[in-house]
Amino acid sequence: MSRKEREGSELEAGASPAVAGVGRDEPPGEDADRVEPVPGAEAALDAPSSRYFAALDASVGDLQHRAQHLIDSVNSSRKEDHNVMSTFRESLLLKVSGLAEQLEERLFHLYGIHNELIQERLQELAEVMERVGEAAAELRQVCRTVEAAYRDLCLQPET
């Protein structure tokens, strides 16, 4: 297969509708914007202009191939970017989860320390409240004794 035939087949296989059939003798089909070839015009074309159109077809095919290659490259790049971002997101989630666990462990450790301190203080408070209760009971006893003594003094007959 010659180079022109290969490029022609590549053009047919990958050509976009906008440039498909450029320089060929096929009927326009659904493309109403194309101008139909004038009968006998090909016979009027001399050899240099035929070579020019063949070279033009080859250039158009090459440009289409390059454009498709660029599009494929961009799409591939986007897929790689998406994979990198997904990997980054997963890695970040793992790190954040790990840090959250560490923070939670530290908080529980601090809660344990604070609970011990609170427990000690509550115990001390209970002891103090017990002593206050004892002091209040003693004070009541003293008050009763003073009251009884006062009553005794006030109820004694005068002599």
pTM of the model: 0.41
Q: Is the pLDDT of residue 18 over 70?
A: no
145 falls within a domain: no
Distance CA 54, CA 24 (A): 10
Angle between helix 3-14 and 47-155 (nearest 10)? 40
Nearest CA to 57 out of 65, 68, 69, 45 is that of: 65
* Cβ neighbours of 12 (radius 10 Å): 13
pLDDT digits 0-9 by tens, 62-108: 999 999 999 999 999 999 999 999 999 999 999 999 999 999 999 99
User: CA–CA distance from 84 to each of 25, 92, 97, 127 (Å)?
Assistant: 48, 12, 20, 64
Distance from C-alpha of 111 to C-alpha of 115, rounded to nearest angstrom = 6
Kindly state whether residue 45 falls inside one of the protein's structural domains.
yes
Question: Using an 8 Å Cβ cutoff, are 27 and 37 in contact?
Answer: no
Structural domain harbouring 90: 3-111
Question: What's the whole-number mean pLDDT along residues 26-32?
Answer: 45
Average pLDDT taken over every residue of the chain = 79
What's residue 3's pLDDT?
47
